[in-house]
Amino acid sequence: MDRIAFRELLLRYAGGTATTDEKVLIDHWYELLYNNDLPALKQDELDEIEQEMWTYIEKEGIIPGNAPLVSIDHNKQRKRLYYISAAAVVIALAITSWAVFSNKPKAFSYEQSRQQKHLLESINNTLAPQRIALNDGSYVILQPFSKIAFSNFDSISREVYLEGEAFFQVAKDANRPFFVYTNELVTKVLGTSFDVQAFPNDNNIKVLVHTGKVTVYQRKKDESEQQLARSNATIITPNQQVLFNRQQASIIKSISTQPQVVYTPVNKNKDRLVFTDAPASDVFMSIQRSYGITIVYDEELLSHCSFTGAFTNETFYERIGLVCKAIEASYEQADGQVIITGHDCEK
C-alpha cells in the first residue's frame, strides 16, 4: 500500500464504504498511534491525523496482517470516526484541488516539442550554472537542473525551448527574432539580455529583463487565439518583470525586486548624485534615467518641492523613499512603474 491508496482507504472509512477488514485495519492503526487518547481537534490540524498515521505506518513497517489486532471500544470507535471523517474531508479537498490542477490538459510540453521538432538538447544536472553557446552568437547560462532544446537556427527565426531557469544574452538580428518557449509562455526578443524561470512544478513563470526590450504572451494552439495573444503581448523593459500564474492563467507586470543601474551618464553633471535644493522632479528624473524605470508624478504639483541630499550605495527603492520622505510624499508601484503621490510644498 502506498500513500495514495492509504488516503483512499481513509475516505472509504469516513464514507461508510470500507469493507469490514478495512475498518478493522483503520481502527487498529489508530489505536497503535494514539493509544486510545483522541487528540484535540483544531481546524488547521485535521490533516495531521492522516499524516501522523501514515508516518507511523511507514516507520513501523506495518502492513495488513503483520500485527495482532487490538480490541476496539465502540464508544471510542464512534468518536474516532468523527476525527477521521473530519480529516478525510480536508484530504478529499486537497486531493480534488491537486487533481484539477495536475490533470488539466496542457496544450504544450517541453518534451513533446523537443521530440516533434527533433531538437538538440543541453541538460544541466550539476550544481553550477553552465554556459552554452548558440550558433548565432547568442549564449545561454543554464541554471542547475534545467534544460534547453534548440536547432541550428535557420534564416527566418531563432527558437529555444526551456524547462527550468536560464539567462539569455541574445545577439542582435533585426531580421530574425529570437523566441524562448516554455509550456505556457512565449518570450520574443530581437537582441537583449533577460532571465526566464519556468520550473515545471512552480506555480509561476517569471521573465526578467536586464537590457533591451522583450514581449511576452501566452502560447495557444488555436491560430486565431494565438494571434490575439500576440496582439495583446506584454512589453517589458530593463528592471521590469512579468509573473505568469499557471492556475489563473494571468500575466502581471511589475518592477524587479532588486533593480540595477542600467545607465551611467557620460556627463556626470547631467545626472548628479548630490543635490542641493534641487526640484523634486529633477531628482525623480535622474533616478528614472539611471534605472530605466518610469516614475509618474504631477510635475506641477511638485514644482515647489525640493530635495537636498546625496545618493551613494542606496538601492532604487531606498532612493525613491528618501525623496518621498523629504517632500512628504508616498509611492507605490503599478504595471512596472512607480507612482508618486504628493502635495504642493508651498501650501
Residue 49: how many CB atoms within 10 A of its CB?
Answer: 24
Cα-based angle 176, 182, 183 (whole degrees, multiple of 5): 130
Instruction: Answer yes or no: is pLDDT of 124 > 60.
Output: yes
Confidence bin at 130 (pLDDT 50/70/90): very high
One-letter amino acid at 145 equals F
Instruction: Answer yes or no: is pLDDT of 81 > 90.
Output: no
pLDDT of res. 70 = 44
pLDDT of res. 265 = 60
Strand 337-341, strand 295-296: pairing: parallel
- Tens of pLDDT along 152-190? 887 788 999 999 999 999 999 988 999 999 999 999 998
- Tens of pLDDT along 298-320? 888 888 899 999 998 899 999 99
pLDDT of res. 10 = 66
Instruction: Answer yes or no: is pLDDT of 232 > 50.
Output: yes
Q: Which of 293, 322, 296 is nearest to 308 (CA)?
A: 322
Instruction: Answer yes or no: is pLDDT of 231 > 80.
Output: yes
User: Residues 147, 114: contact at Cβ < 8 Å?
Assistant: no
Instruction: Answer yes or no: is pLDDT of 93 > 50.
Output: no
- Tens of pLDDT along 212-223? 999 999 999 889
* Burial (CB count within 10 angstroms: exposed 0-12, middle 13-18, buried 19+), residue 100: exposed
pLDDT of res. 303 = 80
pLDDT of res. 9 = 67
**Among the listed ranges 71-75, 132-136, 217-221, which one has the minimum average pLDDT value?**
71-75
User: How far is it, in rounded angstroms, from Cα 75 to Cα 163?
Assistant: 54
Provide mean pLDDT across the span 7-20.
67
Average pLDDT, the chain: 79
Provide mean pLDDT across the span 231-260.
92
Q: pTM for the complete prediction?
A: 0.66
pLDDT of res. 67 = 45
- Tens of pLDDT along 16-50? 677 776 776 666 656 555 554 544 444 444 455 55
Domains of the chain: 3-102 (no CATH), 110-255 (2.60.120.1440), 274-341 (3.55.50.30)
